[in-house]
Chains A and B, each alone.
Chain A
Amino acid sequence: MKDELVFERPRVLADRGMHYCPGCHHGVAHRLVAECLEEMGLVERTVAVSAIGCSVFLYNYILVDTVEAPHGRAPAVATGVKRARPDAFVFAYQGDGDLASIGLAEIMHCANRGERVSVIFVNNTVYGMTGGQMAPTTLVGQKTTTCPGGRCLEREGGPMNMAEIIAGLGGTVYSTRVALDSVKHIVAAKKAIKKAFTIQEQDLGFGFVELLATCPTNWRMTPLQANERIAKEMIPVFPLGVFKDATGEGGGK
């Protein structure tokens, strides 16, 4: 009997175990990014910008040239990289505390300038690495270590819908929200990442992909419960969809 290889690891993905918790979606997100880089032939031209949080270790898994950005500053660092090397393919990978809180100015202005970079935004509604504190994306009523009684709308405001906010900026060519909780959603997520990458390659402007992802450890849930929470609690607040697609108009600048 002849063995036939039907599924393999993208070569740009390191052959090592990940440090992420069981049920965490960073692994899925990393794989999707790696597959897109490889399928689009971008690996040898890529400079990645890793951010602060669990995903700072992106460079341990996706084997491309990488620079580590301070907390929230990945879009500014990516701007510097792209301006220095316009021929490079540049993407940043940020979590929700990083992008939507401390790095809000950098992401907004990077998008507004229409920088030719792609940003992968992993939204799991908490600060993961620091132990599950309240994030700008934490749902109203969600308990975290810094809102133990549940996030209070009057006191702490509501969750921020970044894909919609980024879509409102002139330099944004593509802004979308996808989820990683089902095969169907994962397939759509890969398509979205590929589209954002293509937009950069076509020199059209800024591309933004928000991924709804789990954090079972800090949600105090099993991987299965966490996966189910995405459809049950997150998608009603963070609707999936494309909030801006200016590719038909030939650019957003």
Chain B
Amino acid sequence: MSEKRMFIKGNEAIAYGALAAGLKCYFGYPITPQNDIPEFLSKALPDAGGQFVQAESEVASANMLLGAAACGIRAMTTSSSPGISLMQEAISYMAGSELPGVIVNMNRGGPGLGDIGPSQGDYFQAVKGGGHGDYRLLVLSPSTCQEAYDLIIAAFDLAFKYRNPVMILGDAILGQMKEPVTPWKPQPVPADEGHDWCLTGAKGRPSRILKSLFLDEGELAGQNLRLDAKYKSMECEVRFEAFQVEDAELVVVAHGSIGRIAKSAVRALRAAGGKVGLFRPITLFPFPSAALADLAAKGKRFLTIEHNMGQMVEDVRLAVRAHADSAFYGFLPGNMPTPDEFEAPIRSALSR
């Protein structure tokens, strides 16, 4: 079902999408550049019959998320880089206890306090676990406000499908950019979602324990093997956009806002006759390695562009290593990239 088109920010698209997905509890703490989300939900969520809590810290909001997720309801927290760092403890516990929650990171510049502008500096943190222990999040990277709306809905479904935390990795560009979004209503949340594992009070059944502590010999090894098998099974969720890669000699690999800006540069170079295409990973974990490997096997060359000093490029190189390498162009945080600025590095990679 399609509804009236809206002209909204990426942050608002996240909030609207979460409501459409059946969000019941939101926990958050103010931090720029994602404040539109808690500000919007502080009214809209209670109006929709849900619970909004402004927590005392990101440490607390992530742990509130853990508690709500243990009850099998759709819950979310949102923040930006320094706040996401504070949440890592709870996220690790959620992964270890196999709890479904959605975490949105509107990535800003770092390290430390950095700035409040866009950056992709949290890529490693998002896709390699982020907290302590051996675990993974499902990570989705939207590049438009519409995609932010669509992916937050997918995020809740995936969280429950895999009983795993899901992260939306956006950035300050996506959060603050305004553009048309066509909202849509997904299927209602199944009434029995989570019923076979969540905490409700042990009425008419044995009591349940949701935990990440496994002390008996072999128990933790078993849990790690089980989690690893789960992460591998997520491979079927891979999403990416491949734009004009068929006849391309050079494939630009970029995700999120940078992927979108790179697409404009690729279009401009195509118009000038350049044999260049764009590969935009939408799932950062699972990473679309197989699709990149296929392109590499066809003899393509690669240029990875990121808004950091080079993080995703490591995953690209791993994916294509049998046949190719990837060049890298890092656009520095603290600045706003334009398509023009990507054209020169693409052209130079193309001519090599």
Docked complex: A42-90 residues within 8 A CB-CB of B: 43-47, 49-50, 56, 59, 63-70, 73, 76-85, 88-89
Complex interface: chain B residues within 8 A of A80 (CB): 25, 27, 63-71, 75
Known A45-B201, A65-B200: A105·B57 in contact at CB below 8 Å: yes
With contact pairs A70-B93, A73-B63, A76-B55 given, residues A59 and B199 touching in the complex (Cβ less than 8 Å): no
Does B202 sit at the interface, judged by CB under 8 A?
yes
| Chain B at the A interface: SS class | mixed
Residue A30 at the B interface, CB < 8 A? no
A106 located at the interface, meaning its Cβ lies under 8 Å from any Cβ of chain B in the complex: yes
- A112: nearest residue on chain B (CB-CB)? B56
With an 8 A cutoff between CB atoms, is B113 at the interface?
no
B64/A76 in contact, CB under 8 A: yes
B352 on the A face (CB < 8 A) = no
* Per-residue A-contact encoding for B77-108, CB less than 8 Å = 1, 0 else: 00000000000011001000100000000000
B63 near A69 with CB under 8 A, answer yes
Which residue of chain B has the shortest Cβ distance to A45 in the bound complex?
B201
User: In the complex, what residue of chain A is closest to B211 when comparing beta carbons?
Assistant: A68
Q: Are A68 and B68 in contact (CB under 8 A)?
A: no
A59 to B70 Cα, complex, angstroms: 15
* Cβ contact within 8 Å between B60 and A81: no
* Alpha-carbon gap, A88 to B65, bound state (A): 17
Known: A63-B207, A66-B211, A106-B63. 14 other contacts (CB 8 A): A47-B199, A64-B202, A66-B208, A68-B209, A70-B89, A77-B66, A77-B70, A78-B67, A80-B70, A81-B70, A88-B200, A105-B56, A106-B59, A108-B56
Interface residues of B (CB under 8 A from A): 24-25, 27, 51, 53, 55-57, 59-61, 63-71, 73, 75, 89-90, 93, 97, 199-204, 206-213
18 A-B residue pairs with Cβ-Cβ distance under 8 Å, sorted by A, are A44-B203, A59-B211, A65-B200, A66-B199, A68-B209, A68-B211, A69-B66, A73-B66, A76-B59, A76-B66, A79-B64, A80-B65, A80-B68, A80-B70, A81-B68, A84-B75, A85-B199, A106-B59
Binding site for B on A (CB under 8 A): 43-47, 49-50, 56, 59, 63-70, 73, 76-85, 88-89, 105-106, 108-109, 113
